[in-house]
Chain A
Amino acid sequence: MVTGPASGVSTTASQWGTYFVRTIVPPLVLFVIVLMAWDGAVRFWGIKPYILPGPWRVLSAILSSREELTKAFLLTGGSAVAGFSLSVLVGTLVGCLFSQSTIIRSSGYPYAIFLQTVPIIAVAPLIILWFGRGFGGVVAVAFVISLFPMIANATAGMVQIDPDLFDLFKLNDASRWQILFKLRLPNSVPSLCTGARTSSGLAVVGAIVGEFYAGYGSKHFGLGYIIRLTTDQAKTDALFAAVMVSTLLGILIFGVVSLISLTVLARWAPPEVGERA
């Protein structure tokens, strides 16, 4: 009924086992089915490799350039993690600030929404221009695209609190700081976790988009650069290889963030409602 290890009081090994079987295995099974269908379709219709290479070709492309891809994976991953970490930090700080008064919130929030609505593809060149080609610029793009979910969730978590709890704090003459650190911040942890999950995926997208523009150059490059280069050169199997590795990076970062948040939430007393399919 309740999914994930967060449902238990403590997360034991068997709970992680159940979690693994329920949430990791099904998508893997689906993945294998999709691979088989893909392979079958390529063979059946005789699709040309530069349009759609079969899974085996992609696999061999991955293997043949595994050194490059590993380096690119680490570089892009590093930018994404850096941008994401900045988002968590800045988003939480902005949430703290927004929680302090409705005037601050209503004047600042529209600009936060702007972060979400601005098309990242359109502003990425500008951000790169400001922060430079290379790591700094890529991190900045990842940061900008992943910031809004953190701000939105941090603010919600720090503002949506049982009014009785405020009364309790007021009755004991709590200071603004005590309310922030002993009520708002801890209360926001579940929504910070929600925000972090959305944000982590976006940071990977941001890092790759940033690399489309930031390039880095021929010796030192990330997945975005490979994607762009192989597209231009119509090396579709290499493109697929880079896309696969990018996806893997996204899943990895999302998975790590999800595991961390589940662990945190298990201690933090999540809501007692289960999900039903």
Chain B
Amino acid sequence: MEIIQRSSSIPMSAITPDSAASAGHTAPPIDVAKIVATIGIAASGPLIEVRDLSLRFSTGSEILAAVNLEVKRGEFVALLGPSGCGKSTLLRVMAGLIHNTGGEVTIDGLDPASARKYKHPLAFVFQDPTLLPWRTVRDNIRLPLELQGVPYAEQMKAVEASLPLIGLTTADATKRPRSLSGGMRMRVSLARALVTNPHILFMDEPFAALDDVLRQQLNEEVQALSRQKKWTCVFVTHNVAEAAFMADRVLVMRSKPGSIARVIDVPFAHPRTAALRESAEFAQFAGQVSRELREVMSW
């Protein structure tokens, strides 16, 4: 049922041949039609699959080796690991931004680039808000739609709809990024990600630069929103509490080369509220994850 909903919730603009052409792609319409026809067939099983993935930059040693992981539809997975272990790189490979040198990444059976183009819109939230300083908040948020050739009126409608979801007001929309606080900028960055109605949301340490209170608040908001929108999320962090609070599963990475060392199921029910953080169970679980992380790091 959830799956059927998902396929029908793909914005038409993302799959009509016409918009693919207007966005500057030469893919023949028949391709799109074929892909559209396959929606629902491959609907069971994990959405994102990574098999024996390895990556070596032309400059030297292996960054990722023998990475195996799966992300189910609607699942929230945290990728936890020490700095420099390859979390960002893995996320970029899964988004189709970097090509792996070995193994395989598929999203719903397709390579990531085709999947995000034709079937499962994917949004990425970076560690820095990465806003265009010369654009207003509104124009920053609508950028992805603008690039995809969505008509202006629809862009504006989508922006208006996304503002309240992420705690922004219409008054904020006309401001420029530089007059906003770090937390507000990150909210704008999140709004820009969700304006495209993504199925998949990748976040690369989005709140690492924020103070604790603000981070916890955004953890709660994004966690609730991801449930509501049924996003499939991969959330990179090096913060144990954040991973434990947000995720359904925590994947612990080891470094040199980067690979998945542990998979830990998170036992907490939804919705997750601030009260969860104060519970004994949470402290105990976070302690366990920390221990596992330490073990992995000391290898």
Contact indicator per residue, chain B 67-82, by CB within 8 Å of chain A (1) or not (0) = 0000000000000000
Contact yes or no, B132 A174, CB < 8 A: no
> What is A's interface to B at a CB cutoff of 8 Å?
9, 162, 164-165, 167-175, 177-178, 182-183, 186, 189, 267-269, 272
A9 to B133, CA, bound (A): 12
- On chain A, the residues within 8 Å of B178 by CB distance are 269, 272
Q: B294 interface residue, CB < 8 Å from A?
A: no
Hey, which chain B residues are within 8 Å of A168, CB to CB?
A: 124, 126, 130, 143-144
**Given known contacts A170-B97, A173-B147, A173-B148, is B134 in contact with A267 (CB within 8 Å)?**
yes
- Complex contacts, A170 vs chain B, CB 8 Å: 97
CB within 8 A of A172: which of B92, B128, B130, B148?
Answer: B148
Output the least CB separation between B154 and chain A (Å): 15
B119: shortest Cβ distance to chain A, in Å?
14
Give chain A nearest CB distance to B30 CB in angstroms: 19
A180 to B128, CA, bound (A): 22
Given the complex, which residues of B lie within 8 Å of A182, measured CB to CB? 143, 146-147
A26 to B147, CA, bound (A): 48
Given known contacts A9-B179, A175-B24, A269-B176, A169 and B134 CB-to-CB distance under 8 angstroms? no
Q: Closest 10 A-B residue pairs measured CB to CB?
A: A269-B133, A175-B24, A172-B147, A164-B126, A269-B178, A172-B144, A164-B130, A174-B147, A186-B134, A268-B134
Main secondary structure of the interface of A (DSSP, over half): helix
Q: Which of B23, B123, B130, B148 is A165 in contact with, Cβ under 8 Å?
A: B130
CA gap between A170 and B95 in the complex, in Å: 10
Q: Which of B122, B123, B133, B196 is A268 in contact with, Cβ under 8 Å? A: B133
- Residue in chain A with minimal CB distance to B148: A172
Residues of B contacting A164 in the complex (Cβ-Cβ under 8 angstroms): 126-128, 130
20 contacts between A and B (CB under 8 A): A164-B126, A167-B92, A168-B124, A169-B147, A171-B95, A171-B97, A171-B116, A172-B196, A173-B117, A174-B147, A177-B24, A178-B24, A182-B147, A183-B132, A189-B134, A268-B134, A269-B133, A269-B134, A269-B177, A269-B178
B88 to A, closest residue via Cβ: A164
Q: Which residues of B contact A189 (CB under 8 A)?
A: 134
CA A137 to CA B147, docked complex, whole Å = 44
B147 close to A165 (CB less than 8 A): no
Annotate B164-195 by CB proximity to A: 1 below 8 A, 0 otherwise. 00000000000011110000000000000000
Indicate if the CB atoms of B123 and A171 lie closer than 8 Å: yes
* A171 partner, pick from B124, B127, B132, beta carbons under 8 A: B124
**A171: chain B residues within 8 A (beta carbon):** 95, 97, 116, 122-124, 144
Q: Which residues of A contact B124 (CB under 8 A)?
A: 167-168, 171
B interface bracket (residues with beta carbon within 8 Å of A): 20 to 34
Chain A's closest residue to B24 (CB) is A175
A186 / chain B contacts, CB cutoff of 8 Å: 132, 134
Chain B neighbourhood of A267, CB < 8 A = 134
Query: Which residues of the partner chain B approach A165 to less than 8 Å between Cβ atoms?
Result: 130, 132
For residue A194, give the distance in angstroms from its CB to the closest CB of chain B. 16
Shortest beta-carbon distance from A127 to chain B in Å: 37
Interface residues in B225-241 by Cβ distance below 8 A to A read none
Please measure, in the bound complex, the distance between the C-alpha atom of A69 and the C-alpha atom of B176, giving whole angstroms. 47
Say if the beta carbon of B25 comes within 8 Å of chain A: yes
B123: chain A residues at CB < 8 Å are: 171
**Across-interface contacts of B148 in A (CB, < 8 A):** 172-173
Interchain nearest-CB distance for B143 vs A (Å): 8
Bound-state CA distance A167–B123 (Å) is: 11
Give CA–CA (A177, B97) in the complex, Å.
19
Which residue of chain B has the shortest Cβ distance to A168 in the bound complex? B130
Which chain A residues lie closer than 8 Å to B177 at the CB level?
A: 269
Chain A residues within 8 Å of B133, by CB: 268-269
Closest to A272 in B: B178
Question: Could you tell me the distance in whole angstroms from the C-beta of A164 to the nearest C-beta in chain B?
Answer: 4
In whole Å, how far is A218's beta carbon from the nearest beta carbon of chain B? 51
B131-165 CB contact bits vs A (8 Å, 1 = yes)? 01110000000011011100000000000000000
Known: A173-B24, A178-B24, A269-B177. 10 other contacts (CB 8 A): A9-B179, A162-B128, A165-B132, A168-B144, A171-B95, A182-B143, A182-B147, A267-B134, A269-B133, A269-B176
Please, which residues of chain A bring their CB within 8 A of the CB of B116? 171
Measured between alpha carbons, how far is A169 from B143 in the docked complex, in Å? 9
- Of the residues A9, A173, A183, A269, contact of B23 by C-beta under 8 Å: A173
Instruction: For the complex formed, measure the closest distance between the CB of A50 and the CB atoms of chain B, giving whole angstroms.
Output: 55
- Measured between alpha carbons, how far is A104 from B123 in the docked complex, in Å? 32
The residue of chain A having its C-beta at the shortest distance from the C-beta of B130 within the complex is A164
Residues of A within 8 A of B146 (CB): 182
Considering only CB atoms, which chain B residue lies closest to A189 in the complex?
B134
B117 to chain A: closest residue by CB = A173
| Bound-complex Cα distance A186 to B24 (A) | 21
In the complex, what distance in Å separates the CA atom of A164 from the CA atom of B193?
A: 13
A169 to chain B, nearest CB (A): 7
The interface residues of chain B lying within 8 Å CB-to-CB of A272 are 178
The distance in angstroms between the C-alpha atoms of A205 and B159, with both chains bound, is 51
- CB A89 to nearest CB in B, in angstroms, measures 21
